[in-house]
Structure 1
Amino acid sequence: MASHRRPKQPSRARMSVFTVSAAAAVAALTSQAAQADPQASKKDVKAKVDKLYEEAEGATEKYNGAKDKQKKLQKQVENLQDGVARGQEELNEMRDGLGSMATAQYRSGGVDPSVQLFLSSDPDNYLDRAATMDQLTSKQAEALKKVQGKQRSLAQQRSEASDKLKDLAETRKELGDKKQKIQGKLSKAQSLLNTLTAEERERMAKKQERADRASSDRVDLGNDSSSSSRAAAALSAAKGKIGSPYVWGATGPSSFDCSGLTSWAYQQAGVSLPRTSQAQANAGSRLGQGELAPGDLVFFYDDLHHVGLYAGNGQILHAPKPGANVRFESINNMPFMFGTRV
């Protein structure tokens, strides 16, 4: 006959042993995890910071494009406003001439009704209203047509200037938004860095310094020749800026972002390049990696947000990212898209 006795419950002493053992096991695992966390956390922080820096650089090139557009719009607005001012002066002189004509007519026996009509109404509608009048002389008609043409031209220029001013206001807002986006990413990166200990941050900084020094001290550029004297001159100018810090939106001569360095370098060679990396990509003939020669432009990432100068032997010279200086680096450290020969 089967037994129906209740199973024997573990004693209080045995439960205590189990509890202590489980607690010890959890403590051991926690201790191991704690010992592994700092290194894992440091790598994770660095990866996130590098990603934020890359995103900030992409935003910087968009900012550079908007800033370049703002500069061009500002110049166009100034030219239009100057043209309107000069045109108004010319119109005033024409009107003075008509006034003199009216005065002469008055002295000789009365003002021509057509001139009276012009002087007392909107000149833009004058000719239509004066068409039925026979009193217009050829000289008067010519003068009035010139005034009317000048008024229409001024109205068109004022309208164009107004449109450009609206574009300028929108571009300035766009600049502010992009600047805020960049600063937000850089601020987030700094906040992540602040989660590391002072010792960890110092180690990261020293590693960055070693990378900057190694790029200029021990790099082998081989014996490749530039494709042109301007490419050689641009690369030579950029070499003179090794060690200069990366600063977003900077175009030299003491700090640069990526496209700021390439545009500045080619400017020293007498060549004007567009401001952004994306625009510079269309400034010459495209090349594959095996066709590159020192001084050629090299572009990275799908959206072409990074550009540098090919230096030879698989090395590029560029302004890498915030916290890093202008330096040589392997072309394989980033996703290469193509090169451009200016």
Structure 2
Amino acid sequence: MAANKTNLTRRAFIGGAAAFGAVSIAVPRVALAEPTSADVQAQADAARVKLDDMQKRLNQASDDYYTALEEHDTATAKMDEAQAKIDDNNVKIAELQESLGGRARGMYRDGQITFLDVLLGSSSFDDFLKNWDILQTLNESDANLVAQTKTLREDNEKQKAEYQAQADTAKQKMDEAEAIKNEAEGLVEQYQAEVDSLDAEVAELVEQERQAAAEAEAARQREEFEQQQESNTDNTSNETNNGNNDTGNDTTDDYTPPADNGGGSSSGGSTGGGGTPNAAALSVAAGFLGVPYVWGGDDPSGFDCSGLTSYCYRATGYEIGRTTYAQYASANYIMSLSEAQPGDVLYNGGHVGICSQAGGGEYIHAPAPGQVVCYSTWSQFYCALRW
């Protein structure tokens, strides 16, 4: 029944507009002809572009969501710091007030309390002279106690302002995260509805087109990345030679880390192989095969792409960041795909997976809404990350 409904929909879309009245029973039989392969291909192309755009938006939304949560947590931590300083200041102020109280009691015993009474209750010139006399009796220690109390009270006011500012930031970031989450959930539903509306023939072509496009883009990015690596190697070699030939003149280090050709900024990681692949992370990932893709998911009930990699690494003792870019930025080594080993994280600027075969030819990842954690072999990554 569903297949017939889909076929009728396609006939109405492709044949109906050309027939100018496909609803009439007098329409020639040829108007209901099955779509040609070109028609199906065109429909698949359009669907793939739409789905790819949705997937990119979902991936970006996931990164934005967790970035907002991290900023919220940072603001909350700063609130706690400000409150801790206020509490500490209050303890010190109480101690200083106790010391000043002791000084006042001493002044009372010395017969100076009458001057304090005048200081607190008068405003004439004579009162001023009396106040001045009292100030003269304060020793340097008394003055320091007063100054410290004043400074601590001023700092408390600053800390209260900082606390409020961070509280406002925390609320703003949480609101941002909620807005991103709500928008993404709507996008997931839209994505799933789009997938559900495709019949098997078009869906197969969509997936083929998606993989072909991703492989072509990954190949371009790999070539660009490897050229950058070669350029960095040449620069380093030239600088070494210049250093060996240095006659005492100052030299400038022009080396820059490789750019994130997938859309991020430069990383502090080293290029080239190094470190030890985290094969244990691959074993953890293999235990989640079949777990559904869940946007924003980072636990065994459901994962998105970076949620899976961060969880598997965290389970083996590594904190690599929750978002795709955070993982790229935190990597100790950024390598070409050919250097990838099982357990390394594979990266393409908007998606990540865990390498399961040397050279990155196979990997485990959380692909997209409606799919599950699985092995894949199509070439969509351009570099490998290692910690």
* TM-score of the two chains, using structure 1 as the length reference: 0.70
The corresponding residue for 1:307 is 352
The corresponding residue for 2:372 is 325
How far 1:169 sits from its partner (Å)? 2.6
Pick one of 123, 144, 147 that aligns with 1:145.
Answer: 147
How far apart, in 2, do the equivalents of 1:69 and 1:337 lie? Answer: 29
The corresponding residue for 1:337 is 382
How far apart, in 2, do the equivalents of 1:109 and 1:143 lie? Answer: 21
Tell me, yes or no, if the aligned pair for 1:112 and 1:135 is still in contact at 8 Å. Answer: no
In structure 2, give the amino acid aligned to 1:299. Y
How far apart, in 2, do the equivalents of 1:133 and 1:271 lie? Answer: 62
How far 1:278 sits from its partner (Å)? 0.3
Tell me, yes or no, if the aligned pair for 2:277 and 2:342 is still in contact at 8 Å. Answer: no
The corresponding residue for 1:4 is none
The corresponding residue for 1:110 is 112
Q: Secondary structure at the match of 1:308?
A: strand
Q: Relative to structure 1, is the Cα distance of residues 82 and 258 closer, same or farther in structure 2, using a 3 angstrom cutoff?
A: same
Alignment of 1:24-39 (within 5 A): 27-32=28-33
Q: Relative to structure 1, is the Cα distance of residues 315 and 230 closer, same or farther in structure 2, using a 3 angstrom cutoff?
A: closer
The corresponding residue for 1:244 is 291
Q: Secondary structure at the match of 1:246?
A: coil
How far apart, in 2, do the equivalents of 1:280 and 1:113 lie? Answer: 68
Tell me, yes or no, if the aligned pair for 2:275 and 2:333 is still in contact at 8 Å. Answer: no
How far 1:192 sits from its partner (Å)? 3.0
How far apart, in 1, do the equivalents of 2:54 and 2:277 lie? Answer: 35
Identity %: 26
The answer to whether the aligner puts 1:287 opposite 2:311 as a matched pair is no
How far apart, in 1, do the equivalents of 2:149 and 2:109 lie? Answer: 24
Pick one of 91, 94, 97 that aligns with 2:93.
Answer: 91
Task: Work out the number of aligned pairs and report it.
Answer: 286
How far apart, in 2, do the equivalents of 1:184 and 1:83 lie? Answer: 43
Q: Relative to structure 1, is the Cα distance of residues 116 and 81 closer, same or farther in structure 2, using a 3 angstrom cutoff?
A: farther
In structure 2, give the amino acid aligned to 1:319. A
How far apart, in 2, do the equivalents of 1:317 and 1:281 lie? Answer: 18
The corresponding residue for 2:70 is 68
How far apart, in 1, do the equivalents of 2:365 and 2:154 lie? Answer: 52
In structure 1, give the amino acid aligned to 2:28. A
How far apart, in 2, do the equivalents of 1:119 and 1:280 lie? Answer: 66
In structure 1, give the amino acid aligned to 2:375. F
The answer to whether the aligner puts 1:256 opposite 2:303 as a matched pair is yes
Q: Relative to structure 1, is the Cα distance of residues 97 and 306 closer, same or farther in structure 2, using a 3 angstrom cutoff?
A: same
How far apart, in 2, do the equivalents of 1:45 and 1:131 lie? Answer: 90
Q: Relative to structure 1, is the Cα distance of residues 186 and 177 closer, same or farther in structure 2, using a 3 angstrom cutoff?
A: same
How far apart, in 2, do the equivalents of 1:40 and 1:71 lie? Answer: 47
Greater Cα radius of gyration, structure 1 or 2 = 1
How far apart, in 2, do the equivalents of 1:285 and 1:76 lie? Answer: 32
How far 1:97 sits from its partner (Å)? 3.0
Cα deviation 1:119-158 (Å, max 9, x = unaligned): 99xxxxxxxx989942221221221122123223323322
RMSD value over aligned CA atoms?
3.8
How far apart, in 1, do the equivalents of 2:345 and 2:48 lie? Answer: 28
Q: Relative to structure 1, is the Cα distance of residues 161 and 230 closer, same or farther in structure 2, using a 3 angstrom cutoff?
A: farther
Q: Secondary structure at the match of 1:298?
A: strand
The corresponding residue for 2:214 is none
Alignment of 1:153-168 (within 5 A): 153-168=155-170
Q: Secondary structure at the match of 2:347?
A: strand
Tell me, yes or no, if the aligned pair for 2:277 and 2:341 is still in contact at 8 Å. Answer: no
How far apart, in 2, do the equivalents of 1:96 and 1:29 lie? Answer: 101
How far 1:287 sits from its partner (Å)? 0.6
Tell me, yes or no, if the aligned pair for 1:53 and 1:185 is still in contact at 8 Å. Answer: no
How far 1:288 sits from its partner (Å)? 0.7
Alignment of 1:197-212 (within 5 A): 200=199
Q: Relative to structure 1, is the Cα distance of residues 64 and 131 closer, same or farther in structure 2, using a 3 angstrom cutoff?
A: farther
Tell me, yes or no, if the aligned pair for 1:244 and 1:255 is still in contact at 8 Å. Answer: yes
Tell me, yes or no, if the aligned pair for 2:344 and 2:386 is still in contact at 8 Å. Answer: yes
In structure 2, give the amino acid aligned to 1:171. K
How far 1:331 sits from its partner (Å)? 4.6
How far apart, in 2, do the equivalents of 1:45 and 1:162 lie? Answer: 48
The answer to whether the aligner puts 1:234 opposite 2:236 as a matched pair is no
How far apart, in 2, do the equivalents of 1:130 and 1:256 lie? Answer: 73
Gaps of 5+ in 2: 1-23, 123-130, 208-272
Q: Relative to structure 1, is the Cα distance of residues 116 and 318 closer, same or farther in structure 2, using a 3 angstrom cutoff?
A: farther
The answer to whether the aligner puts 1:80 opposite 2:48 as a matched pair is no
Tell me, yes or no, if the aligned pair for 2:320 and 2:327 is still in contact at 8 Å. Answer: yes
